Amino acid sequence: MYILGIETSCDETAAAVLNDDNSVLSNIVLSQDDVHAPFGGVVPELASRQHITAIEYVVGESLEKAGVKLPQIDAFAVTQGPGLIGSLLIGVSFAKGLAYYFQKPLIPVDHLESHIHAVFLENKTIPFPAVALLVSGGHTSLYLLRNKLSFERLAKTRDDAAGEALDKIAKYLGLGYPGGAIIDRMAAKGNPQKYHFSLPRMTDKILGYSFSGLKTAALRTIKDKTITLEHPQLDDFLASFQKAIVNALLAPLDEIIKTQAPKSLILCGGVARNSVLRYDFQHLAEKKNLAGFIPSPQFCTDNAAMIAGLALEKFKNEGEFTLSLDLNAYPSKLKKAGKIRKS
């Protein structure tokens, strides 16, 4: 069996082919970084236009690399949401067209769940229950997994996502886009002890994240110490800010491990590429005597292998998927659940 996954939720056009053994035969990601870089962030209208021009080529490449022809594909998988609605619709429409033409099942996949499931692209299974820390450009959340297909959200950010905070500071300093990866590179040359940032504290004691306070503190330091691209301690500043974000991300794990008693920990999402976060996360897992799992970097940032991987799991466990032409994209979970009233 071959499954083709398509991902277009934000600014990466991606397609991948997996076989029923869960082996990744191809994983093509076409980044739009150059298009969005001049704006310091993703411009939704430009993202949709780029997906339209790129999708046929990217899907073609994924098939060619896998050595598989379109009629051999047994099921199509696509990101349904959450994400930018214009971008999502390109992937959903393209996948629907293929599934309709070849009369094959179309499997919708949640983008956030697929980031977590990415861990199974390289591990057949892991000890359950597992706690997953999902850190991306738009989301920062903790989940409990009792098996490969159950995703229970335990906590989330109340304001910015961690990646968003890194990207915004990078944009403010004129470092380039996407900021997280650039900060990671520059911070490697800096001293993380040089500037002090306090850990965000939740006054209501409800488990969750908040990164807007850290972002504001960083902006204040930039102004007070006149930190610019030429500042001799720029790398120290970035290393200190990055370390503060990493500390804030790992802080709630103590409490979660106590209350949920997981057998393993997962770190995933684009920010999981961060070198300091990867190191500190594994260190924490070891200290707690838990198995720590982090997908390889190419499976952390947006990709379609994770979409096809989760779809395959659903296909094997949730019975027949039919071809539903009513399938629609959803920009957020609330919109999917119909909890947002139209104004």
Task: Give the Cα-Cα-Cα angle 279, 280, 281 (nearest 5 degrees).
Answer: 90
Residue 105 site contact among Zn ion, ligand KG4, none (CB < 5 to 8 Å, cut-off depends on kind) = none
Would you state the torsion angle of the CA atoms of residues 59, 60, 63, 68, taken in this order, to the nearest 10 degrees? Answer: 130
195 vs 240, 302, 340, CA distance in Å? 6, 32, 42
Q: Show the tokens assigned to 92.
A: 């959903």
Q: Can you say how many angstroms the Cα of residue 140 is from the centroid of all Cα atoms in its chain?
A: 9
Q: How far is the CB of 72 from Zn ion (least distance, A)?
A: 28
Among 81, 270, 309, 331, binds ligand KG4 (CB under 6 A): 270
Nearer to ligand KG4, 200 or 270 (CB): 270
Specify the pairing of strand 12-19 against strand 24-31: antiparallel
Q: How far is the CB of 213 from ligand KG4 (least distance, A)?
A: 18
Nearer to Zn ion, 163 or 192 (CB): 163
Q: How far is the CB of 302 from ligand KG4 (least distance, A)?
A: 4
The neighbouring-strand residues paired with 3 are 18, 75
Residue 167 site contact among ligand KG4, Zn ion, none (CB < 5 to 8 Å, cut-off depends on kind) = ligand KG4
Nearer to ligand KG4, 105 or 190 (CB): 190
Residue 273 site contact among Zn ion, ligand KG4, none (CB < 5 to 8 Å, cut-off depends on kind) = ligand KG4
**Residue 11 sits in the site that holds Zn ion (CB under 5 A):** no
Query: How many amino acids of this chain bind ligand KG4 (CB under 6 A)?
Result: 19
Cα–Cα distance measured from residue 183 to residue 186, given in angstroms and rounded to the nearest whole number: 5
Specify the pairing of strand 106-110 against strand 130-135: unpaired
Specify the pairing of strand 140-145 against strand 152-156: antiparallel
Judged by DSSP in three states, 89 sits in helix
Under DSSP, the state recorded for 288 is T
Q: How far is the CB of 233 from Zn ion (least distance, A)?
A: 32
**Residue 167 sits in the site that holds Zn ion (CB under 5 A):** no
Nearer to ligand KG4, 2 or 293 (CB): 293
Cα–Cα distance measured from residue 144 to residue 150, given in angstroms and rounded to the nearest whole number: 8
**Residue 136 sits in the site that holds ligand KG4 (CB under 6 A):** yes
Residues of this chain, 285-304, that bind ligand KG4 according to CB under 6 A: 301-302
Comparing C-alpha atoms, which of 203, 210, 220, 214 is closest to residue 160?
210
Nearer to Zn ion, 80 or 136 (CB): 136
Specify the pairing of strand 291-293 against strand 140-145: unpaired
Among 144, 302, 306, 314, binds Zn ion (CB under 5 A): 302
**Residue 10 sits in the site that holds ligand KG4 (CB under 6 A):** yes
**Residue 269 sits in the site that holds ligand KG4 (CB under 6 A):** yes
**Residue 136 sits in the site that holds Zn ion (CB under 5 A):** yes
**Residue 13 sits in the site that holds Zn ion (CB under 5 A):** no
Comparing C-alpha atoms, which of 245, 241, 232 is closest to residue 192?
241
Residue 178 site contact among ligand KG4, Zn ion, none (CB < 5 to 8 Å, cut-off depends on kind) = ligand KG4
Whether residue 44 contacts residue 84, with contact meaning beta carbons closer than 8 Å, is answered with yes
Judged by DSSP in three states, 93 sits in helix
Q: Is the dihedral of CA 211, 216, 217, 222 positive or negative?
A: positive
Q: Which residue is nearest to ligand KG4 (CB)?
A: 270
Whether residue 42 contacts residue 329, with contact meaning beta carbons closer than 8 Å, is answered with no
Residues of this chain, 164-223, that bind ligand KG4 according to CB under 6 A: 166-167, 178-181, 184
Give the interface segment with Zn ion, choosing from 117-125, 223-231, 252-260, 302-310 (CB under 5 A).
Answer: 302-310
Give the interface segment with ligand KG4, choosing from 16-24, 41-49, 71-79, 134-142 (CB under 6 A).
Answer: 134-142
Site residues (vs Zn ion, CB under 5 A): 136, 302
Site residues (vs ligand KG4, CB under 6 A): 10, 136-138, 163, 166-167, 178-181, 184, 269-271, 273-274, 301-302
